[in-house]
Amino acid sequence: MTQTLASEVENVNAMARPAPLSIGGYLIKRLLDYGVGHVFGIPGDYVLSFYGMLESSPLRVVNCTREDCAGFAADAYARVHGLGVVCVTYCVGGLSVCNSVAGAYAEKSPVIVISGAPGISERVNNPLLHHKVRDFRTQLEVFEKICAVAVDLNDPVDAFRDIDRALDTAVRFKRPVYIELPRDMVHVVPHVTHTYHRWEHATDPQALNEAVEETLAWLARTEKPIIIAGVEIHRFGWQEKLLALAEHLQIPIAATMLGKSVIRETHPLYIGLYEGAMGRPEVTQFVEESDCVLLLGAFMTDLNLGIYTANLDPGKCIYATSEQLRIRHHHYRGVVLGDFLDELLKRQPPPRPRPIPDGLRPRAEREPFELKPDARITLRRLIERLDRQLDDDTIVIADIGDSLFAATELVTHERTEFISPAYYTSMGFAVPACVGALAARPDARVVALCGDGAFQMTGMELSTAVRYGLSPIVIVLDNGGYGTERVLHPGQWQFNDIRRWDYARIPEVLGGGRGYRVETEGDFERALLSAWEDRSQFSLLHVLLDPNDYSPTLTRLAERLSKRI
């Protein structure tokens, strides 16, 4: 049976009625206030009562096959939609989403984790209730380590305020938060009147003024400025501000790997990804010879910097994120990046145009794709062909390893989104992320690139695509093992090999979807066109690669690493 993910609104009026709300009811109301439409998860006995409330609310429950998949789906939903929710039972559910939630923390994706828990009234004399690990605080203490805040709704007087605090923190800092809901508190109606006060985070106007003046004075002296745009620009919705500033100043823009698609890659000012020795050498050179680097919303991670092969002199950088603003070696406190961008543009500084050499921009170097139908498919040719298929409504999701490295060579369009856990790099993200992305954007064409090792971790989550009638296109890049590890740790190690599955037959198990086996360029052409037309079901393209076939990006990285040894 196929269910629909469309939000239903018949219950909205019931929710909006100004009757006194229970703790569970208030939590649902606040999620709706933030525009959340879907909750991902798996029920369990300590959260069944709240699940009943969820299913009766305007929120749509999306049942996944595993909790960690629900966590990845909620993370992808948050990246596309602005806020995601995963709801699970105590410990067996909660501790199964640790890795997904840690990834959301590391990459600033605002995911609300709601966990059921034993009732407060059941805890007298610390009994051994099932699912308990050490004591009733254990799960909360674990999530304190991997969330921005963790609250326990164990007190009717504090519960509403704690819900507000948790949700506001997620939205403000774009980090996951944890809300523990004991099962006997779900229907409790507090006897206190609660009014929601939004906590505003304001910029210090004097610090802002000084920082802007210093920046503009420096820009006026520069000859080769460059902007490096990072993922926070997307998370906080500052794309328009950034683009307006760059277009006014006429400064070229590079993006980090994690920030790929922050601006459309066909923009005339866009020059490509900056990723040190992993990236295209001409981009690396153009960035590193700059006399003023505006790093905006970027994480300075090892992978974003090509495993620290990037060569950026802090003395030439303005490094602005949601958490700090650093100009060369001094810091400004209390300057919100969005306000910084606004103020820079408002002052209408003179443009600092920097010409972009021929052949630097990614689109310029492309030649027409000439299909060689009988040629064995290679990763490079697959990416080149796929690149020509992307349109404005595509969301590309890349899993980890060479799926990611290869996918960085795709050119995203006007409204294309590129999603990948490119810093935390947890394998198995892509397929569950398709579910989350399609719940958020049902009309989008979602294409996932996924290694075989990653697919074996979470690929059966395609079951959820069948259940809800979603039609992602999943491209399984099968090289029979953990390809990136073969490059990083050469040798004939059995542990880098995995069993080869007949992935194209998975639709037969799931009772839905269509599988394609791809060995040649002609196979890929036919499968891709067929899959692109098919909006009725998921498509799985099983691409059999030579185990020694690596993307140019991974090849460059390997060459660089081997030089280090």
Would you say 223 or 495 has its CB closer to a second copy?
495
Task: Report how many residues bind a second copy under the rule CB under 8 A.
Answer: 83
Half-sphere exposure of 287 (CA within 13 A, CB side): 30
Would you say 72 or 236 has its CB closer to a second copy?
72
User: CB of residue 209 vs a second copy: minimum separation in angstroms?
Assistant: 30
138 contacts a second copy (rule: CB under 8 A): yes
Residues 248-267 that bind a second copy (CB under 8 A): none
Who contacts 217 (Cβ-Cβ below 8 Å, separation ≥6)? none
Would you say 66 or 234 has its CB closer to a second copy?
66
331 contacts a second copy (rule: CB under 8 A): no
199 contacts a second copy (rule: CB under 8 A): no
Task: Kindly tell me which residue out of 426, 479, 537, 551 binds a second copy, with binding defined by CB under 8 A.
Answer: 426
Joined tokens for residue 452: 């075989």
CB 419 within 8 A of CB 408: no
Scanning the structure block, which residue is given the tokens 């709706």? 32
State the burial class of residue 244 (Cβ atoms within 10 Å of its Cβ: 0-12, 13-18, 19+).
middle
- Each as own residue / partner, the long-range contacts of residues 322-330 (CB below 8 Å, 24 or more positions apart, any chain) are 322/108, 322/173, 322/174, 322/232, 322/235, 322/236, 322/297, 325/211, 327/211, 327/214, 327/215, 327/218
- In the shown chain, the binding pattern of residues 372 to 411 toward a second copy, with x for contact by CB under 8 A and - for none, equals ----------------------------------------
Cα–Cα distance between 318 and 324 in angstroms, integer? 11
Cα–Cα distance between 86 and 72 in angstroms, integer? 9
494 contacts a second copy (rule: CB under 8 A): yes
CB 438 within 8 A of CB 60: no
134 contacts a second copy (rule: CB under 8 A): yes
273 contacts a second copy (rule: CB under 8 A): no
Give the range of 192-200, 243-251, 423-431, 441-449 binding a second copy by CB under 8 A. 423-431
3-state DSSP assignment of residue 270: strand
CA 190 to chain centre: 36
User: CB of residue 219 vs a second copy: minimum separation in angstroms?
Assistant: 27
Task: Kindly tell me which residue out of 99, 154, 408, 539 binds a second copy, with binding defined by CB under 8 A.
Answer: 99
Beta bridge partners of residue 245, listed in sequence order: none
Cα–Cα distance between 294 and 277 in angstroms, integer? 20
300 contacts a second copy (rule: CB under 8 A): yes
Residues 30-69 that bind a second copy (CB under 8 A): 43-45, 48-49, 51-52, 54-55, 61, 63, 65-66, 68
Give the range of 98-106, 190-198, 319-327, 375-383 binding a second copy by CB under 8 A. 98-106
User: CB of residue 399 vs a second copy: minimum separation in angstroms?
Assistant: 12
Would you say 154 or 496 has its CB closer to a second copy?
496
User: CB of residue 436 vs a second copy: minimum separation in angstroms?
Assistant: 17
